[in-house]
Amino acid sequence: MADILFETKGVGKIYGTNTVLHDIDMKIHSGEVIGLIGENGAGKSTLMKLISGVEAPSMGEMFYMGKPYKATSIINANQQGIGMVFQEQSLVANLTIAQNIYLGREKKYSSAGIVNWGRMNRDARTALERMDLDVDPGKKVRDIDMATREMVEIAKVLDVVTEAAEGRAIILLDEPTTVFSDDEIQEMYKQIRKMKAAGNGIVFISHHLDEILEITDTIYVFKDGEETAVFPTKEADMNVLYEKMVGRSTTGEFYVEAKQTVPEKDVVLKVQDLSLFGAFNHVSFELHKGEVLALAGLDGSGNEDVCNVLVGQEAPTAGKILMNGKEVRFANSYQARKNGILSVPKDRRDEGMVSILSIEDNITISSWNHLKQGPLLSSKKLKAAAEKWIKEARIKCPGLKARISQLSGGNAQKVIFARALESGCQVLILNHPTRGVDIGAKQEIYRLIREMTEQGHAIIVLGDTLDECLGLASKVIVFRDGMVSGSFDCPVDGKPSQQEVVHFMM
């Protein structure tokens, strides 16, 4: 094969106490398209961030064209010949296409601080033609459609890296096809083949396995931050990919399955034909007392949006939500809580913790209305509630009055769980409850979830992995592209395999 353009040796990344990427060896050859697949949180995007200079690796080495490679920023990586097209588009909508392509590189076109827009537009046209794009570079980005924006974004990156390392550049594409129609995807393939023929190395991330099989030469499979398989695309088929991606299932003991409750008859929450325009359509399900219901699906499949609607953060476009048989509508999370639905948010630090308040206040924040003495908060009641949960949830902390920001990830998460339990809400929505906590804390959280159902709470969980969804839930509903694609009963002795379910996700 052609020579190696880029190589990682034992690269990894640690955030706080959490290893998200471990020991990655990857070789990108000249003229090669690499497909990178894995579940959400498998570490694909993290690796891309390390290569494109967004973050620095915590371990390992990288080499570019045989020399040790280090990028201090995206721009720095660009100047060396490595560019990335991000999942979320990064074009500035109120600038023109040309201004976006040369954003940060205007110097080339300016003298005495005055930019020669005509010359910039001419060069932009060349950059766009390289991608067979026939749009006016003087148009504002807000006036072009999403698919064209994506192509402009790629044209921009291609232009930057071509300038730095023509024919030996590395181009990273993170789910570039999400906004494309079938024809546009074909056009995209054509462009990738052109970049490839020029000798560049390309990394292509997608959840659509057919695309991966179509366009790539080599496939890397990631699982929980590790590289679980590497093989040439011609030796792969869908089933092999599914199998490698989900990996081995964890034992039932890990998920405390012995304590999984059988859901009771009473329906606590009923969702009928619920839709949110542009996010999910026609979703119906029932949630029973003592049940753990998992909503499985990839990022953007609609499962998270369902939860946002259930806690009042979004207003549904159509459909009904019934609590204990009565139709409800929430304008905000406060009304949802009043009606008995509370969520444990995904992003603990940004959406869950109030870091200037004490552990005690963070536990009781959703229950202040009950913990009063006359018009004032009762410090005795607050203390009693906090003490009770610190004991029950085994929260390790320096004291009730210590700030929650002093706690480690797992203990902080247990505080948020304690808050949900103290609130007395019937329905608890656990949005990625174990994200970013170590394995010991994970198990304690699973144990807490089992205790919640024993006490009669009904739980909706968005799991971090499919394995977790299956392990915890007594029923799994699978989302794909905003629709329910399948649903599985998961009794303790008859859990479906991950392979059976993953087909409905991708």
Partner 1 sequence: MKNKWSEMLDTLSVDQQFVVKAENDAKMDKVRRFAPLILLVVMTAIGAVSQKNFFSWANIVNIMYQMSIPLVISVGLSFVLLLGSIDLSIEGMMGFAGSFVAFLVANKSNGNNFGILGVLLVVLIGAAVGAVTGILHTKARIASFIVTYAVGSIMAGIAVLVYRGTPIQVTDQMFVAISQGKLFGIPYITLIAFAVFLVGAVIMNYTAFGRAVFAIGDNETAAASAGINIARAKIKVYALCGCTAAIAGVLQCMRLKLGQSSLGTNQMFPVVTAIVLGGGSVSGGKGGSLQSFVGVLIYAELANWLTLMGVDTNMKKVIQGVIIIIAVALTVTHDRKTVAK
Q: Which residues bind partner 1 (CB under 8 A)?
A: 14, 16-17, 311, 332-334, 336-338, 342-343, 345, 350-357, 361, 365-366, 368-369, 372, 375-377, 402-403, 405-408, 419, 423
- Cα distances from 506 to residues 168, 174, 297, 499, 501, in angstroms, run 33, 17, 8, 11, 10
β partners of residue 276: 280
Compare residues 32 and 361 and give the one whose CB is closer to partner 1: 361
The Cα 82–Cα 395 span in angstroms is: 45
Minimum distance of partner 1 from residue 393's CB (angstroms): 17
Question: What does the alpha-carbon distance between residue 488 and residue 495 come to, in Å, rounded to a whole number?
Answer: 8
Our CB check for partner 1 shows the closer of 277 and 368 to be: 368
Tokens 């552990």 sit on residue: 359
Task: Decide whether 9 or 338 has the Cβ nearer to partner 1.
Answer: 338
Q: Which is nearer to partner 1, 79 or 367 (CB)?
A: 367
CB nearer partner 1, residue 52 or residue 362: 362
Give min distance, CB of 337 to partner 1, in A: 3
Residue 16 or 232 having the CB closest to partner 1: 16
Q: Which two tokens stand for residue 190?
A: 């054509």
| C-beta separation of 476 from 501 below 8 A | yes
Q: What are phi and psi of 16, to 5 degrees?
A: 60, -115
Shortest distance, CB of residue 369 to partner 1, whole angstroms?
6
Q: Write down the least CB distance from residue 99 to partner 1, Å.
A: 25
Contact 6, 63 (CB under 8 A): yes
CB of 312 to partner 1, least distance (A): 9
Q: Give the span between the Cα atoms of 428 and 42, in whole angstroms.
A: 26
The terminus-to-terminus CA distance of the chain in angstroms comes to 32
Assigned token pair, 193: 């083949």
> At closest approach, how far in Å is the CB of 340 from partner 1?
10
Is the CB of 342 or the CB of 452 nearer to partner 1? 342
- Shortest distance, position 425 Cβ to partner 1, whole Å: 8
Helix axis angle, 409-422 to 439-454, nearest 10°: 10
CA distance 201 to 167: 9
What's the min distance (Å) between Cβ of 277 and partner 1? Answer: 21
User: How many residues in the chain?
Assistant: 506
59 versus 322: smaller Cβ distance to partner 1: 59
435: tokens are 């994200």
